[in-house]
Structure 1
Amino acid sequence: MQAGTVLLHKSFMFADGATKDKYLVVLGKAQGTVLAAKTTSKGHRYRNDFGCQSANQYPAFFLPAKSCCLPLNTWICLGDFYELKEDALIGGITSGNVFRVGLLGDTFTRDVQFCAKGCDDISSHQESIIDSSLAPAQN
C-alpha cells in the first residue's frame, strides 16, 4: 500500500470506541505498519486555503473538491496519526470493509507528507515512517 492511497474504511474505530465510515489517507508504510490520517469534509474548524495548515490549532491539509479523487472539499486531519497493521487493512479490502478509492498523486502526496512532518503531534517514529515512504519529487 503506497503513500497517497485514499481508503474508505467502512467501520473505522475512533479512540472513544465509536465506529463510522471514514476516508483515510496513507502517509507511509514501514515494516508492516501503515501510517494514515483521517479526513473530514466538515470544514468549520479549518480554513479554505489550499494546502498545508500545520500551524493552525487543528492542523490539516486542504484539498478543494475534485482536485484529486475526492469529490468534496476535504481536509486531511493532521492532529491525529493512526498506525494500522498492513495485513489488517489488506484483510479489510478482501472482506469488503475497506475500499481503495484512489491516489492523491505524487505531488499532493509529497506536499501532505511534508505538511504532516511539520505538525506538533507527530512522533519521531511516525516521521521515520513518512521519511521511508516519501513520494518522488516532480521536476
Structure 2
Amino acid sequence: MNPGSIFFDEEFAFHDGETGEKLFVVLGTINSISIVVKTTSKQHGRGIEFGCQPKDRFHNFFLPPGCCYLKTQTWVCLNEFYEINASIALQKRFSGKIKPVCTLEDSLIRAIQDCAALSADISSFQASAIKACLV
C-alpha cells in the first residue's frame, strides 16, 4: 500500500472494536505494516480552511471539494492512527472488501504526512513509518 492511496474498506476495524464502511488514506508502510488514517465528510466543529488543522478539537487535514478526486468536503482524521498488516489488507483486497478509490498527488500526501507528524496522537513507531515513506 503506497502513501497517498485512498481505499474504501467495507469492514474497517475501528479502535472501539466496531467494524463498518470507511475511506482511509495510507500515510506510510514499513515492515509490512501500513499506517493509515480514516476520513470523514462530517464537519463536527472542524475547520473548513484547506490544509492542516492542528488546533481544531480533532487534529485533521481538510480537503475541500474539487481539490482532489474526492467529490465532497473531506477531513483526514489525524487524531487516530491505524496499523494494518499488509497481508491481511491484500487478502481483503482480493476478496473485494477493500477497493482502491484514488491516489492523491505527491504534494498533497506530503502535506498530510507533515501534518500527521504534528499530531499528539501519533506513536513513535507510526511517526517513523511515515517518515521513512515521505513523498
Q: Distance in 1 between matches of 2:122 and 2:18?
A: 23
3-state DSSP of counterpart to 1:79: coil
Retained in 1: the 8 A contact 2:45–2:56?
Answer: no
Shift of 1:45: 2.5
Q: Distance in 2 between matches of 1:86 and 1:33?
A: 6
Return 28-37 or 10-19, whichever deviates more: 10-19
Q: Could you tell me which amino acid in structure 1 is paired with residue 10 of structure 2? A: K
Q: Could you tell me which amino acid in structure 2 is paired with residue 61 of structure 1? A: F
3-state DSSP of counterpart to 2:114: helix
Q: State the partner residue of 1:10.
A: 10
Retained in 1: the 8 A contact 2:52–2:60?
Answer: yes
The alignment covers a number of residue pairs equal to 135
- After superposition, give the CA deviation of every residue in 1:46-94 in whole Å (9 maximum; x if it has no partner): 0111000123220000001121121110000000000110111111111
Aligned ranges 1:98-137 → 2 under 5 Å: 98-135=98-135
- After superposition, give the CA deviation of every residue in 1:101-128 in whole Å (9 maximum; x if it has no partner): 0101101000000000011111111110
Q: Could you tell me which amino acid in structure 1 is paired with residue 47 of structure 2? A: R
3-state DSSP of counterpart to 2:62: strand
Q: State the partner residue of 2:26.
A: 26
Retained in 2: the 8 A contact 1:4–1:103?
Answer: yes
Q: Distance in 1 between matches of 2:49 and 2:22?
A: 23
Q: Compute the TM-score of the two structures, normalised by the length of structure 2.
A: 0.96
Q: Distance in 2 between matches of 1:82 and 1:21?
A: 15
Moved over 4 A (4+): none
In structure 2, runs of 5+ residues without a counterpart are none
Q: State the partner residue of 1:55.
A: 55
The percent of aligned pairs where both chains have the same amino acid is 39
Q: State the partner residue of 2:64.
A: 64
Retained in 2: the 8 A contact 1:64–1:73?
Answer: yes
Q: Could you tell me which amino acid in structure 2 is paired with residue 57 of structure 1? A: R
Q: Distance in 1 between matches of 2:65 and 2:31?
A: 33
Q: Compute the TM-score of the two structures, normalised by the length of structure 1.
A: 0.94
